[in-house]
Amino acid sequence: MKSNRLRRWLFPAVMGIVLLAVVVAVAVYFHQMLYVPVKQPGAGEEIEFTIERGEKLDSIAARLHRAGILRDPAALKLAAFFGGGGKGVKAGTHRLRTDLSAWSIYQLIQQSPLAEFVRLVIPEGFDTFEIAQRLAELGICGEAQFFDAVSNPATVSVFAPGANTLEGYLFPDTYHVPVGAGAGEVVEMMLKRFREKTDAQLNRDIEAAGFSLQQGVILASLIAREAGNAEEMPLISSVFHNRLRIGMKLDCDPTFIYARKQAGDWDGVVLAADRQIDSPYNTYRTNGLPPGPIGSPGREALRAAAHPADSEFLYFVAKGPDTSLGHYFSRTAAEHSRAVARYRREVQLARQRESGRQ
């Protein structure tokens, strides 16, 4: 009898203890996730964190975790579950700290950010004409204001002594431009990124290749405009290096396109007469490098300018209308002629396929 009564009393007691332990464990887990920061209060650092317009909570949580602001991406989702579902998160740049709890971070990103921003993407190889157009399309600034900023003598003299503009030094990247920022602020953001990406070692490598920094940027801008993909940049670079070494003209099509842009008559169509344009930028008529960059090279193009592939190639032509497929490289004019014929066949086939779809 006593044994039965003991069992009847013991089972609920044990279950109660187990339930209490589970409740405590869950409470501790929630407390850890929501209220324990990555670093001790007062020992954290301030980080500016940008949330894209329309970005999902999962993406925000993952990036906060990678930035060292959250212990676990699930912490933000848990905070959102208890705090309204995450619908009030504000796009823009927020100032957060690594010694704030997930709950505090969630509350902060629901408040107005430091500034609304416009996402600006500058692809590698873009020149100032293309950048100006994109800035105008996004409503950041007018083209005239941008050209005034990139030709500011005080700034140009620092980055490109002897040049007329900052062409080549506006680093291609993704930028978050605060609403209301002027052309000068946008240019400064790009120049700052250029300084960050071109370290002392890269500068030494460019000098070791026999170029000044300015010449390295010029060569890299040609590589960026010609290369179909980053992998072939060293090969493109080797062709230019080989031609420069033997005094052969570079014959770089993007240079006469740039000359036409400078003249204000570029309409997107290459003409047979373009190779005869009288311009110091037209490398079909002038020896050596053009007098300035023709676009914005990224780090890979700059590295390729300093580290060309070891080759004997003197020519290249695209494999087809889609330049991302790369180029055919040749050592002799005869080889190059055959490669050009293959390119023309591919262009013709592409046109036939396109007309068949219409």
Residues of the chain with CATH 3.30.1490.480: 34-114
pLDDT at 6 over 70: no
Task: Note the pLDDT tens digit of each residue in 292-351.
Answer: 999 999 999 999 999 999 999 999 999 988 888 899 999 999 999 999 999 999 888 888
For residues 243 and 249, what is the distance between their CA atoms, to the nearest angstrom? Answer: 7
Give domain 34-114's CATH number out of 3.40.50.10680, 3.10.20.30, 3.30.1490.480, 2.30.30.100: 3.30.1490.480
Phi, psi of 307 (to 5 degrees): -130, 75
Task: Note the pLDDT tens digit of each residue in 187-205.
Answer: 999 999 999 888 889 999 9
144 DSSP assignment: H
Which range has the worst mean pLDDT, 24-33, 231-240, 328-337? 24-33
Which range has the worst mean pLDDT, 3-17, 42-56, 135-149, 317-331? 3-17
Antiparallel, parallel or unpaired: β 117-121 and 315-318: unpaired
Strand, helix or coil for residue 329: strand
In 3D, which of 233, 274, 268, 218 has the Cα closest to residue 251? Answer: 274
Q: Average pLDDT in the 83-100 region?
A: 78
pLDDT at 249 over 80: yes
pTM above 0.85, yes or no: no
Q: What is the pLDDT of residue 72?
A: 87
CA angle 149, 152, 155 (to 5 degrees): 105
Residue 96, exposed/middle/buried by CB under 10 A (0-12, 13-18, 19+)?
Answer: buried
Task: Note the pLDDT tens digit of each residue in 167-191.
Answer: 999 999 989 888 788 899 999 999 9
For residues 47 and 67, what is the distance between their CA atoms, to the nearest angstrom? Answer: 8
Q: Which two tokens mark 120?
A: 């600006």
CB 205 within 8 A of CB 303: yes
